Structure 1
Amino acid sequence: MQIREDDLMSDKIAALLQEHLDNMHEITPPGSVHALDLERLRSPDITFWSAWQGDELVGCGALRHLDATSGEIKSMRTVQAYHRKGVASKLLEHILAEAERRGYGRLYLETGALAEFAAARSLYARYGFEPCGPFADYADDPNSAFMTKALPAKKQAPISLPASESA
Protein backbone atom coordinates (compact mmCIF):
# COMPACT_ATOMS: atom_id res chain seq x y z
CA MET A 1 0.00 0.00 0.00
CA GLN A 2 1.25 3.48 -0.88
CA ILE A 3 0.19 6.57 1.07
CA ARG A 4 0.68 9.88 -0.66
CA GLU A 5 -0.23 13.50 -0.15
CA ASP A 6 -3.24 14.19 -2.31
CA ASP A 7 -4.37 17.34 -4.14
CA LEU A 8 -8.05 16.30 -3.92
CA MET A 9 -8.52 16.64 -7.66
CA SER A 10 -9.24 13.06 -8.78
CA ASP A 11 -12.71 11.67 -9.38
CA LYS A 12 -11.86 8.66 -7.19
CA ILE A 13 -11.14 10.89 -4.20
CA ALA A 14 -14.24 12.99 -4.84
CA ALA A 15 -16.38 9.83 -4.96
CA LEU A 16 -14.88 8.39 -1.75
CA LEU A 17 -15.36 11.66 0.12
CA GLN A 18 -18.95 11.97 -1.13
CA GLU A 19 -19.60 8.40 0.03
CA HIS A 20 -18.13 9.36 3.41
CA LEU A 21 -20.36 12.43 3.73
CA ASP A 22 -23.45 10.54 2.59
CA ASN A 23 -22.78 7.78 5.11
CA MET A 24 -22.20 10.28 7.93
CA HIS A 25 -25.53 11.97 7.14
CA GLU A 26 -27.30 8.57 7.04
CA ILE A 27 -26.15 7.44 10.48
CA THR A 28 -25.61 10.70 12.39
CA PRO A 29 -28.38 13.01 13.58
CA PRO A 30 -28.65 16.40 11.84
CA GLY A 31 -26.33 19.00 13.34
CA SER A 32 -23.89 16.37 14.57
CA VAL A 33 -22.05 15.65 11.30
CA HIS A 34 -18.55 17.15 11.46
CA ALA A 35 -17.13 15.56 8.30
CA LEU A 36 -15.68 18.05 5.84
CA ASP A 37 -16.64 18.28 2.20
CA LEU A 38 -14.11 18.41 -0.63
CA GLU A 39 -13.84 22.20 -0.69
CA ARG A 40 -13.34 22.50 3.07
CA LEU A 41 -10.65 19.80 2.93
CA ARG A 42 -8.74 22.00 0.47
CA SER A 43 -8.15 24.54 3.26
CA PRO A 44 -4.46 25.50 3.64
CA ASP A 45 -4.46 24.28 7.27
CA ILE A 46 -5.30 20.71 6.18
CA THR A 47 -2.97 18.10 4.70
CA PHE A 48 -4.81 15.24 3.01
CA TRP A 49 -3.45 11.78 2.15
CA SER A 50 -4.85 8.98 0.05
CA ALA A 51 -3.93 5.31 0.30
CA TRP A 52 -3.54 3.21 -2.82
CA GLN A 53 -3.16 -0.47 -3.65
CA GLY A 54 -1.75 -0.21 -7.15
CA ASP A 55 -4.23 1.98 -9.05
CA GLU A 56 -7.02 1.29 -6.56
CA LEU A 57 -7.93 3.89 -3.95
CA VAL A 58 -8.32 2.11 -0.60
CA GLY A 59 -8.64 4.94 1.93
CA CYS A 60 -7.86 8.46 3.06
CA GLY A 61 -7.13 10.63 6.05
CA ALA A 62 -6.17 14.20 6.88
CA LEU A 63 -4.37 16.29 9.48
CA ARG A 64 -5.64 19.75 10.36
CA HIS A 65 -3.20 22.21 11.90
CA LEU A 66 -4.82 23.68 15.03
CA ASP A 67 -1.85 25.62 16.41
CA ALA A 68 1.92 25.31 16.82
CA THR A 69 1.55 22.43 19.27
CA SER A 70 -1.52 20.50 18.15
CA GLY A 71 -3.44 19.04 15.26
CA GLU A 72 -6.68 17.25 14.51
CA ILE A 73 -7.25 14.05 12.57
CA LYS A 74 -9.96 14.46 9.94
CA SER A 75 -11.62 12.44 7.18
CA MET A 76 -10.40 8.94 8.02
CA ARG A 77 -12.17 6.61 5.62
CA THR A 78 -11.51 3.13 4.25
CA VAL A 79 -13.12 1.80 1.08
CA GLN A 80 -15.69 -0.86 2.07
CA ALA A 81 -13.85 -3.71 0.29
CA TYR A 82 -10.75 -2.97 2.39
CA HIS A 83 -12.35 -2.79 5.83
CA ARG A 84 -10.42 -4.76 8.47
CA LYS A 85 -7.37 -5.12 6.21
CA GLY A 86 -5.09 -2.63 7.97
CA VAL A 87 -5.73 0.43 5.81
CA ALA A 88 -6.96 2.63 8.68
CA SER A 89 -4.05 1.56 10.89
CA LYS A 90 -1.50 2.43 8.20
CA LEU A 91 -3.12 5.81 7.56
CA LEU A 92 -3.28 6.56 11.28
CA GLU A 93 0.38 5.60 11.71
CA HIS A 94 1.27 7.90 8.81
CA ILE A 95 -0.65 10.81 10.32
CA LEU A 96 0.88 10.19 13.77
CA ALA A 97 4.37 10.21 12.26
CA GLU A 98 3.66 13.46 10.43
CA ALA A 99 2.27 15.08 13.58
CA GLU A 100 5.43 14.09 15.47
CA ARG A 101 7.59 15.40 12.61
CA ARG A 102 5.76 18.72 12.86
CA GLY A 103 6.55 18.83 16.57
CA TYR A 104 2.95 18.64 17.76
CA GLY A 105 2.62 17.69 21.40
CA ARG A 106 -1.00 16.62 21.09
CA LEU A 107 -3.47 15.30 18.55
CA TYR A 108 -7.24 15.47 18.76
CA LEU A 109 -10.11 13.93 16.87
CA GLU A 110 -13.87 13.83 16.81
CA THR A 111 -15.74 10.69 15.86
CA GLY A 112 -19.25 9.47 16.44
CA ALA A 113 -20.51 8.28 19.81
CA LEU A 114 -23.11 5.98 18.22
CA ALA A 115 -22.66 2.20 17.89
CA GLU A 116 -21.77 2.55 14.20
CA PHE A 117 -18.52 4.26 15.25
CA ALA A 118 -17.40 1.63 17.78
CA ALA A 119 -14.72 0.23 15.42
CA ALA A 120 -13.28 3.72 14.88
CA ARG A 121 -13.19 4.46 18.62
CA SER A 122 -11.55 1.09 19.22
CA LEU A 123 -8.88 1.77 16.58
CA TYR A 124 -8.04 5.13 18.11
CA ALA A 125 -7.94 3.66 21.63
CA ARG A 126 -5.48 0.97 20.44
CA TYR A 127 -3.19 3.81 19.36
CA GLY A 128 -3.37 5.54 22.74
CA PHE A 129 -6.16 8.03 22.18
CA GLU A 130 -8.27 8.74 25.24
CA PRO A 131 -11.63 10.44 25.70
CA CYS A 132 -11.57 14.19 26.24
CA GLY A 133 -13.95 17.13 26.07
CA PRO A 134 -14.68 19.29 23.05
CA PHE A 135 -11.67 21.08 21.56
CA ALA A 136 -11.08 23.84 19.00
CA ASP A 137 -14.47 25.08 17.76
CA TYR A 138 -16.48 21.98 18.72
CA ALA A 139 -19.35 22.18 21.20
CA ASP A 140 -20.40 19.44 23.57
CA ASP A 141 -22.54 16.98 21.59
CA PRO A 142 -23.94 13.66 22.86
CA ASN A 143 -23.44 12.23 19.36
CA SER A 144 -19.72 13.05 19.32
CA ALA A 145 -16.83 11.24 20.95
CA PHE A 146 -13.83 13.52 21.41
CA MET A 147 -10.43 11.90 21.83
CA THR A 148 -6.86 13.07 22.33
CA LYS A 149 -3.35 11.67 22.44
CA ALA A 150 -0.18 13.22 23.82
CA LEU A 151 2.70 12.80 21.41
CA PRO A 152 6.33 12.20 22.39
CA ALA A 153 8.32 15.34 23.00
CA LYS A 154 10.37 16.25 19.97
CA LYS A 155 13.95 15.30 20.65
CA GLN A 156 16.40 18.14 20.42
CA ALA A 157 19.79 17.46 18.87
CA PRO A 158 22.62 17.84 21.38
CA ILE A 159 24.17 21.26 21.30
CA SER A 160 27.80 21.14 20.29
CA LEU A 161 29.97 23.95 21.55
CA PRO A 162 33.22 24.79 19.81
CA ALA A 163 36.23 23.33 21.66
CA SER A 164 37.29 26.78 22.86
CA GLU A 165 33.91 27.39 24.56
CA SER A 166 33.51 23.96 26.13
CA ALA A 167 36.76 24.04 28.17
Structure 2
Amino acid sequence: YTTFRTYWMRNDCAGSWQARRDLLERFFEPVQEELDRQEEAQFRAVLVEGVSPHSSMGWPRVDEELNELRRRFRTASTTQDYRDVGNRSVAVLEALSRTVYDPRVHLREGEIEPTVDKTKQRLGRYVEDSLGGRDHETIRGVANKVIELSHSVKHSSAPTRRDAGIAADSVVMLANLLRRVDQDF
Protein backbone atom coordinates (compact mmCIF):
# COMPACT_ATOMS: atom_id res chain seq x y z
CA TYR A 1 0.00 0.00 0.00
CA THR A 2 2.80 2.40 0.87
CA THR A 3 4.43 1.85 -2.54
CA PHE A 4 1.21 2.68 -4.40
CA ARG A 5 0.57 5.71 -2.20
CA THR A 6 4.07 7.03 -2.85
CA TYR A 7 3.61 6.40 -6.57
CA TRP A 8 0.24 8.18 -6.63
CA MET A 9 1.70 11.14 -4.74
CA ARG A 10 4.68 11.40 -7.09
CA ASN A 11 2.31 11.49 -10.07
CA ASP A 12 -0.16 13.99 -8.60
CA CYS A 13 -2.83 11.35 -8.06
CA ALA A 14 -3.13 11.40 -4.27
CA GLY A 15 -6.74 11.82 -3.18
CA SER A 16 -8.14 11.82 -6.72
CA TRP A 17 -9.63 8.72 -8.30
CA GLN A 18 -10.04 10.53 -11.61
CA ALA A 19 -6.36 11.45 -11.68
CA ARG A 20 -5.51 7.79 -11.03
CA ARG A 21 -7.81 6.66 -13.82
CA ASP A 22 -6.20 9.20 -16.16
CA LEU A 23 -2.73 7.95 -15.25
CA LEU A 24 -3.70 4.31 -15.84
CA GLU A 25 -5.34 5.24 -19.13
CA ARG A 26 -2.15 6.96 -20.25
CA PHE A 27 -0.22 3.72 -19.68
CA PHE A 28 -2.75 1.19 -20.88
CA GLU A 29 -4.58 2.96 -23.72
CA PRO A 30 -1.72 2.38 -26.23
CA VAL A 31 -1.67 -1.29 -25.26
CA GLN A 32 -5.44 -1.55 -25.71
CA GLU A 33 -5.27 0.23 -29.08
CA GLU A 34 -2.58 -2.22 -30.27
CA LEU A 35 -4.65 -5.20 -29.11
CA ASP A 36 -7.67 -3.79 -30.96
CA ARG A 37 -5.56 -3.25 -34.09
CA GLN A 38 -4.25 -6.82 -33.97
CA GLU A 39 -7.74 -8.22 -33.42
CA GLU A 40 -9.00 -6.28 -36.44
CA ALA A 41 -6.04 -7.50 -38.53
CA GLN A 42 -6.81 -11.09 -37.53
CA PHE A 43 -10.43 -10.59 -38.59
CA ARG A 44 -9.30 -9.28 -41.98
CA ALA A 45 -6.94 -12.26 -42.37
CA VAL A 46 -9.81 -14.71 -42.74
CA LEU A 47 -11.01 -15.70 -46.18
CA VAL A 48 -14.55 -16.55 -47.18
CA GLU A 49 -15.99 -19.95 -46.25
CA GLY A 50 -18.42 -21.93 -48.37
CA VAL A 51 -21.94 -22.58 -47.13
CA SER A 52 -21.38 -26.32 -47.23
CA PRO A 53 -21.34 -27.96 -43.79
CA HIS A 54 -18.23 -29.92 -44.83
CA SER A 55 -14.85 -28.67 -43.66
CA SER A 56 -13.14 -29.70 -46.89
CA MET A 57 -13.90 -29.98 -50.58
CA GLY A 58 -13.22 -33.72 -50.65
CA TRP A 59 -10.69 -33.16 -53.44
CA PRO A 60 -7.30 -33.70 -51.74
CA ARG A 61 -5.16 -31.56 -54.09
CA VAL A 62 -7.69 -28.74 -54.03
CA ASP A 63 -8.02 -28.93 -50.24
CA GLU A 64 -4.23 -28.81 -49.88
CA GLU A 65 -3.95 -25.75 -52.11
CA LEU A 66 -6.87 -24.01 -50.38
CA ASN A 67 -5.24 -24.57 -47.00
CA GLU A 68 -1.98 -23.13 -48.31
CA LEU A 69 -3.83 -20.15 -49.80
CA ARG A 70 -5.48 -19.45 -46.44
CA ARG A 71 -2.17 -19.77 -44.59
CA ARG A 72 -0.41 -17.47 -47.04
CA PHE A 73 -3.13 -14.82 -46.91
CA ARG A 74 -3.11 -14.84 -43.10
CA THR A 75 0.61 -14.02 -43.00
CA ALA A 76 0.77 -11.66 -46.00
CA SER A 77 1.89 -8.12 -45.23
CA THR A 78 3.97 -6.86 -48.18
CA THR A 79 3.46 -6.32 -51.89
CA GLN A 80 5.47 -9.48 -52.60
CA ASP A 81 3.32 -11.44 -50.14
CA TYR A 82 0.15 -10.23 -51.84
CA ARG A 83 1.54 -11.21 -55.22
CA ASP A 84 2.24 -14.64 -53.76
CA VAL A 85 -1.40 -14.84 -52.66
CA GLY A 86 -2.13 -14.42 -56.38
CA ASN A 87 0.28 -17.30 -57.07
CA ARG A 88 -1.49 -19.44 -54.46
CA SER A 89 -4.86 -18.52 -56.00
CA VAL A 90 -3.63 -19.69 -59.40
CA ALA A 91 -2.33 -22.89 -57.76
CA VAL A 92 -5.88 -23.56 -56.50
CA LEU A 93 -7.19 -23.05 -60.04
CA GLU A 94 -4.62 -25.50 -61.39
CA ALA A 95 -5.56 -28.06 -58.73
CA LEU A 96 -9.22 -27.60 -59.73
CA SER A 97 -8.19 -28.01 -63.37
CA ARG A 98 -6.43 -31.31 -62.58
CA THR A 99 -9.39 -32.52 -60.56
CA VAL A 100 -12.44 -31.74 -62.66
CA TYR A 101 -11.14 -31.82 -66.22
CA ASP A 102 -11.34 -35.28 -67.78
CA PRO A 103 -10.07 -35.45 -71.36
CA ARG A 104 -12.31 -38.47 -72.05
CA VAL A 105 -15.32 -36.31 -71.30
CA HIS A 106 -14.28 -32.74 -72.03
CA LEU A 107 -11.94 -33.01 -75.01
CA ARG A 108 -13.63 -32.55 -78.38
CA GLU A 109 -12.67 -34.53 -81.46
CA GLY A 110 -9.58 -33.08 -83.12
CA GLU A 111 -8.58 -31.00 -80.08
CA ILE A 112 -5.32 -31.34 -78.19
CA GLU A 113 -5.63 -31.63 -74.42
CA PRO A 114 -4.84 -28.25 -72.84
CA THR A 115 -2.09 -28.28 -70.22
CA VAL A 116 -3.06 -27.95 -66.56
CA ASP A 117 -2.04 -24.28 -66.49
CA LYS A 118 -4.63 -23.49 -69.18
CA THR A 119 -7.20 -23.20 -66.43
CA LYS A 120 -9.53 -20.95 -68.39
CA GLN A 121 -9.89 -23.55 -71.16
CA ARG A 122 -10.07 -26.57 -68.88
CA LEU A 123 -12.41 -25.16 -66.23
CA GLY A 124 -14.44 -23.42 -68.91
CA ARG A 125 -15.00 -26.72 -70.70
CA TYR A 126 -15.90 -28.46 -67.44
CA VAL A 127 -18.51 -25.82 -66.62
CA GLU A 128 -19.76 -25.80 -70.22
CA ASP A 129 -20.25 -29.58 -70.24
CA SER A 130 -21.63 -29.78 -66.71
CA LEU A 131 -23.86 -26.73 -66.89
CA GLY A 132 -24.62 -26.24 -70.54
CA GLY A 133 -27.15 -23.93 -72.07
CA ARG A 134 -28.03 -20.29 -71.75
CA ASP A 135 -29.30 -20.74 -68.19
CA HIS A 136 -25.74 -21.30 -66.94
CA GLU A 137 -23.94 -18.72 -69.06
CA THR A 138 -23.45 -16.49 -66.04
CA ILE A 139 -21.68 -19.25 -64.08
CA ARG A 140 -19.29 -19.77 -66.98
CA GLY A 141 -18.64 -16.03 -66.98
CA VAL A 142 -17.95 -16.07 -63.24
CA ALA A 143 -15.37 -18.83 -63.67
CA ASN A 144 -13.59 -16.84 -66.40
CA LYS A 145 -13.55 -13.64 -64.37
CA VAL A 146 -12.18 -15.40 -61.27
CA ILE A 147 -9.38 -16.88 -63.36
CA GLU A 148 -8.55 -13.48 -64.87
CA LEU A 149 -8.63 -11.82 -61.45
CA SER A 150 -6.25 -14.36 -59.91
CA HIS A 151 -3.76 -13.95 -62.73
CA SER A 152 -3.98 -10.16 -62.52
CA VAL A 153 -3.00 -10.23 -58.82
CA LYS A 154 -0.23 -12.74 -59.53
CA HIS A 155 1.24 -10.46 -62.20
CA SER A 156 0.49 -7.10 -60.58
CA SER A 157 3.46 -4.87 -59.80
CA ALA A 158 1.80 -3.50 -56.66
CA PRO A 159 -1.10 -5.64 -55.41
CA THR A 160 -2.71 -4.62 -52.13
CA ARG A 161 -4.12 -6.71 -49.32
CA ARG A 162 -7.57 -5.89 -50.64
CA ASP A 163 -6.64 -7.08 -54.16
CA ALA A 164 -5.16 -10.30 -52.80
CA GLY A 165 -8.14 -10.91 -50.51
CA ILE A 166 -10.67 -10.38 -53.29
CA ALA A 167 -8.78 -12.76 -55.59
CA ALA A 168 -8.40 -15.37 -52.86
CA ASP A 169 -12.06 -15.11 -51.79
CA SER A 170 -13.10 -15.44 -55.42
CA VAL A 171 -11.05 -18.61 -55.90
CA VAL A 172 -12.49 -20.13 -52.71
CA MET A 173 -15.97 -19.27 -53.99
CA LEU A 174 -15.23 -20.81 -57.40
CA ALA A 175 -13.93 -24.01 -55.81
CA ASN A 176 -17.14 -24.30 -53.80
CA LEU A 177 -19.23 -23.51 -56.86
CA LEU A 178 -17.48 -26.20 -58.95
CA ARG A 179 -17.83 -28.69 -56.12
CA ARG A 180 -21.56 -28.05 -56.08
CA VAL A 181 -21.81 -28.68 -59.84
CA ASP A 182 -21.34 -32.40 -59.17
CA GLN A 183 -24.25 -32.54 -56.74
CA ASP A 184 -27.76 -33.53 -57.74
CA PHE A 185 -30.58 -32.26 -55.54
TM, length-normalised to structure 1: 0.27
Name the one with the larger strand percent. Answer: 1
Name the one with the larger helix percent. Answer: 2
TM, length-normalised to structure 2: 0.25
Q: Which has the higher contact order (CA 8 A, sep 6+)?
A: 2
**CA radius of gyration, larger in:** 2
